[in-house]
Structure 1
Amino acid sequence: MPKTVTSPLQKKLAAMLVEARKKADLRQIDLAEKLGVYQSWVTHMESGQRRIDVVELIELGRIMGFDPAEMVRVLSKR
């Protein structure tokens, strides 16, 4: 199992998060403000340079209006 943040699964998660943000009609800066983080945090998350833990995924789902469990189910299908 690759431990690098550039794994295919990490890239897929990053792409799904970008899609969810856009679907929620949020800019990176808007999401950052709602999360209480810098825009660079969102940029690193969306580029796959930063791993997302379960608690962060739940909070992202709450803010952007997606079901984190469903996102994990989609990711787990290969």
Structure 2
Amino acid sequence: MAKTLHSPAYEHFCSLLITARETAGLTQSDVASRLARPQSFVSKYESGERRLDVLEFLQICQVLKADAQAILNAMQLRIGA
């Protein structure tokens, strides 16, 4: 993963989104197209170069058909919250 200014927990969050995308059988370009965003948007949030807000996260989960709550639960376990 590219060097990031974010914590290991945020890097884990990014890896969960990458795994969800790959599980959905989608490329970064596929996701970007469905979000009406450039491919670089997906690349940047996956690499940790760009942070997501909650609405973007929910839109991405919808495109990926991923369970947003399951991703958040995994993050809670990771950070011990």
Q: How big is each residue's C-alpha offset from its partner over 1:25-49, in whole Å with a ceiling of 9 and x where there is no partner?
A: 1111110000111111100011011
Q: Which residue of 2 is the match for residue 71 of structure 1?
A: 71
Unaligned runs of 5+ in 2: none
Q: Which residue of 2 is the match for residue 38 of structure 1?
A: 38
Count matched residues: 75
Q: How big is each residue's C-alpha offset from its partner over 1:9-64, in whole Å with a ceiling of 9 and x where there is no partner?
A: 11001101111001111111110000111111100011011111111111111110
Q: CA deviation at 1:5?
A: 4.4
Identity within the alignment, %: 33
Q: 2-side partners of 1:11 and 1:68: how far apart? A: 17
Q: 2-side partners of 1:40 and 1:13: how far apart? A: 18
Q: Which residue of 2 is the match for residue 50 of structure 1?
A: 50
TM-score, length basis structure 2: 0.85
Q: Which residue of 2 is the match for residue 24 of structure 1?
A: 24
Unaligned runs of 5+ in 1: none
State the one-letter code of the partner of 1:39. Q
Matched, 1:15 2:15: yes
Look up the SS of the partner of 1:77 in the other structure: helix
Misfit runs of 4+, over 6 Å? none
Q: CA RMSD for the aligned pairs?
A: 1.3
Q: Note if contact 1:32-1:41 (Cα within 8 Å) is conserved in structure 2.
A: yes
State the one-letter code of the partner of 2:60. L
